[in-house]
Amino acid sequence: MKEQEYSNIEEDSQEGLNLRDILELVISQWKWFVLSIIVCLLLAVLYIKSTPKVYTRTATVLIKDEKGGANSAASTFGDLGGFNLMKNSVDNEILVFQSFRLMRDVVRRLQLDVSYTTSMGLRTVNLYKTSPVIVDFIKSNENSSFTFELTPVSEKQVLISISDDDISWNKTLNYNDTISTPIGLISLKKTDFFERGDIGKVITVKKRPVKKVTEIYKSMVNVSLSGKQTSSITITIDDNSIKRAEDVLNTLITVYNEDAKADKNQVGINTRHFIEERLAIIGKDLGDVDTQIESYKKDNELADITTQAGLYVANRSEYTHEGISIENQISLAKYVQEYLKDPAHASDLIPVNTGIEDQGLSNEIAGYNDLFLKRDKLLANSSMNNPVVADMNNSLVAMRKSIMRSIDNLLVSLDIQLKNLKNQENIARRQITSVPSQEKHVMTIARQQKIKEELYLYLLNKKEENDLNMAITESNARIIDAAYGSDYPVAPKVSLILLVAVILGCAIPTGVIALKLMLDTTVRGRKDIEDNLSIPFLGEVPERERRNDEEIVVKEGGRDSVSEAFRILRTNLEFMRKDDSMKVVMLTSANPGSGKTFISSNLAMTLALSSKKVILIDLDLRKRSLSKRLKSAPVGISNYLSGKISDVDEIIVKKQDKVGIDMIHVGPMPPNPAELLMGNRLDELIQELKERYDYIIIDNVPSMMVADAAIVNRLADIVIYVIREGVMDRRQLPDIEKLYREHKFNNMCVILNGTKARRAGYGYGYGYGYGYGYGYGVEEEDDYKKSSFWDFFKQKRKKHK
């Protein structure tokens, strides 16, 4: 039965603390929780007050479709030709928005590499576009990095302070002065935001490399699709300056549109340059022809010859017209051929729409230009080592050679046609025998003049078309919403930070308490006793007040918590006695300092207050703790056991008050205490005292230190094992349980001494719970009714069980 009971105790002890135990422990340490939460909240408030506020700004743009829309400018002038409608991919445009090149242009335009900040309370405030003083860095290097301070000292002067590991430079300057400093040539200017309140305010100026700032803002900007079924893009940024965030997004969109237009206009720019070059050459040739005709007619005094040669002239005119057209084609083809052979234009686009009527050649040139533009766009975000770029370069070389071969074939074909026309024209010319040679010369010059004039007008027309094409080039993106957002900051999140502070405030003391509990191996309360021992639990004695130095604190009529506890011990001790012959009560413990002397003396006084005759014996022959505290007598039990005194009355110290206890002190310290206790004289003494007293209380030594307690056990009717909370190691409890199961002590029971008030509601109406079926006494019933709410709840729960 005992083994089964002990097994149940072991199973219960492994359950650990339940939720109620944890709650009671938290309630008992509520002051630490409140203090920790207050400190964490103060730190959270300090963090909130010192952290710059962060705001979110969002912009939305629509990426236009491939055809530019039915109402776009490109579709309106599409009949003019020469328009290259580039295909836009939304995913590709997202990559363009996120490119380093565009963001670097934004940083340069907004001068984001220079920041102005000042302290306002605990928080650092950014003065983007609102700084009362700005710095103009003359011939500054984009890769330079430094920090200095500006302090306006008046409305006309400002103090500049430059401090570094190597230099310390301070100087007062006038506004708009240009001065050489350790960081370079600078000029300080006062802005429209300057106020008298800014005098004395320290402004921190920080210059960082453009590349580093670009990388920072590139990582801050987030570009994503607005929806799966849309071609719109959402651009967001988080910044501690609302104005700066809006400027970054709006400028980024502007730079993107400018870059897209420049990319589309690249073909037109090259074409314009080619036409302008040809116009200059043909204009000069045309002027020369006009001068030749004028000079020839003046020299030969020629009049208007329009009626000569009749029908032959008409036929020859037809051949001449066809020859002019072919010669025009030959000239244009040669111009393009010279352009292709010119090394200076080897890496340029080939002009299109030059007037060559060969459709195949025009298609080849258009295909070459398309591939050339694709190669350049890919090369902007890659290198020449890219396999795709290399492949495109090979294709461009092959296509250029193919175009040159096509021009050669075209020239051969035109030459054949022109030769045939020349033959026909020569036949007609021979028929005109009546036309003077002067007219022939004039007509030759006039024909050249007409060729140059037609070519010149044609190029002028193409130039206008090309300029119109460039003027109406559309951007890729249409702004749906410019940068906007709420004025409520997204960070720091006040509610979340305060919640974390409260949680942390609860977690810190919880962790400390848990760590303390894990490291604390001493007995912490009655639960440890009941979970680990099957020994009858006699009761618990609360820790007495520190200001009370008296050994015996139990007084007649006393209603303090300690007195109430000893009354409960007295009642439970009565239940332990099976009959009136069980009079000898011995107190022992596992180690010193458990309070055996205090328990034995006050238990004896409690029994005496119930009209019992009680004698208290100090059998700690080694330390004599009880005898020392209660004014030791010159003679004692050591004299009796050694045979020096035969009369028991000589060693008994009689009670002095009406209600008190008799006592036997140790007397002189014997050299052989164990041998004296094993002698028959101790048996004779106890037998004689049983006839005189109702209770014999023996204060003995710790059982695990010396053998005295085990020796005296033969005379004890009840052995009270004293365990002190916070002193005894819980790991010793199995040893005590072993003593009980092996019946090393007679009628063994346990008292828990020094319990803390946090584990029970002591005071008037001291609450106490009993175990092992010992019931309630009169005092206990009173205490039960007057106990605190928590103890009342415990008692009701146990009674219900």
State pLDDT tens for residues 61-102: 988 765 544 344 444 444 444 444 334 478 888 888 899 999
Q: Which amino acid is at 161?
A: S
H-state helical runs in 86-174: 90-97, 100-110
Query: CA angle, corner 656, sides to 655 and 657, nearest 5?
Result: 100
Measure the CA–CA gap between 283 and 263, rounded to whole angstroms. 31
DSSP 475: P
Average pLDDT of the segment spanning 577-581: 81
Least confident of 513-522, 643-652, 670-679: 513-522
Q: Cα 339 vs. chain centroid, distance in angstroms?
A: 61
Question: According to the model, what pLDDT value does residue 760 have?
Answer: 37
At residue 655, the pLDDT reads 77
* Token duo for residue 71: 């109402």
Predicted confidence at residue 305, as pLDDT, reads 53
- Alpha-carbon span 674 to 709, nearest angstrom: 10
Residue 551 has, within 13 A of its CA and on its CB side, a CA count of 16
* Predicted pLDDT at 770: 33
**Residue 657 pLDDT level (bands cut at 50, 70, 90):** low
Q: Report whether 550 contacts 559 (CB < 8 A).
A: no
Q: What is the CA radius of gyration of the chain?
A: 56
Mean pLDDT for 481-505 is 88
In whole angstroms, what is the distance from residue 599 CA to residue 554 CA? 10
- pTM, two decimal places: 0.52
Q: What pLDDT sits at residue 771? A: 32
Q: Are 185 and 179 in contact (CB under 8 A)?
A: yes
Among 209-223, 363-377, 483-497, 559-573, whose mean pLDDT is lowest? 363-377
CB 753 within 8 A of CB 595: yes
Please name the residues in contact with 692: beta carbons below 8 A apart, sequence gap of 6 or more. Answer: 613, 615
Which range has the worst mean pLDDT, 474-478, 559-563, 745-749, 750-754? 474-478
Alpha helix (H) ranges present in 486-560?
Answer: 494-519, 526-532
Instruction: Report the pLDDT value the prediction gives residue 792, as an integer from 0 to 100.
Output: 38
Mean pLDDT throughout 296-306? Answer: 58
Q: Where are the beta strands (DSSP E) in 121-255?
A: 123-126, 133-138, 146-152, 157-163, 168-174, 178-181, 184-190, 203-207, 222-225, 232-239
Q: Where in the chain is the domain with CATH 3.40.50.300?
A: 526-766
**Please, what sign has the CA dihedral across residues 572, 576, 577, 578?**
positive
| Lowest pLDDT segment from 623-632, 771-780, 787-796 | 771-780
Report the pLDDT value the prediction gives residue 561, as an integer from 0 to 100: 86
Tokens matching residue 725: 């909370």
Give the residues across from 509 on adjacent strands.
none
Residue 621 confidence (pLDDT): 87
pLDDT of residue 759: 42
C-alpha span between 207 and 186 (Å, rounded): 13
Long-range contacts of 506-511 (CB under 8 A, 24+ apart): 506/33, 506/36, 506/37, 508/36, 508/40, 509/29, 509/32, 509/33, 509/36, 510/26
Q: Which two three-digit tokens encode residue 266?
A: 């690249």
The amino acid occupying position 334 is K
Classify domain 526-766 by CATH architecture: 3-Layer(aba) Sandwich (3.40)
pLDDT greater at residue 191 or residue 426? 191
Quickly state the pLDDT bin for 758 (edges 50, 70, 90): low
* pLDDT tens readout for residues 115-165: 999 988 888 888 898 899 989 888 778 888 888 889 998 888 899 988 876
What is the distance, to the nearest Å, from the Cα of residue 434 to the centroid of all Cα atoms in its chain?
Answer: 102
159-202 per-position pLDDT tens digit: 998 887 677 888 888 888 888 888 888 888 888 888 888 888 99
Q: What is the pLDDT of residue 617?
A: 92
Write the CB contacts of 522 (distance below 8 Å, at least 6 apart in sequence): 725, 726, 727, 728, 729, 730
User: Is 534 strand, coil or helix?
Assistant: coil
Work out the pLDDT band at 504, boundaries 50, 70, 90. very high
What are the distances in angstroms from CA 754 to CA 218, 547, 761? 68, 15, 14
In this predicted structure, the answer to whether residue 799 has a pLDDT above a threshold of 70 is: no
Question: What is the predicted pLDDT for the residue at 472?
Answer: 64
SS3 127: coil
**What is residue 466's DSSP assignment?**
H
Q: What is the DSSP letter of 735?
A: H
Of 294 and 710, the one with more pLDDT: 710
Side chain identity at 607, as an amino acid letter? L
Residue 346: how many other CB atoms lie within 10 Å: 10
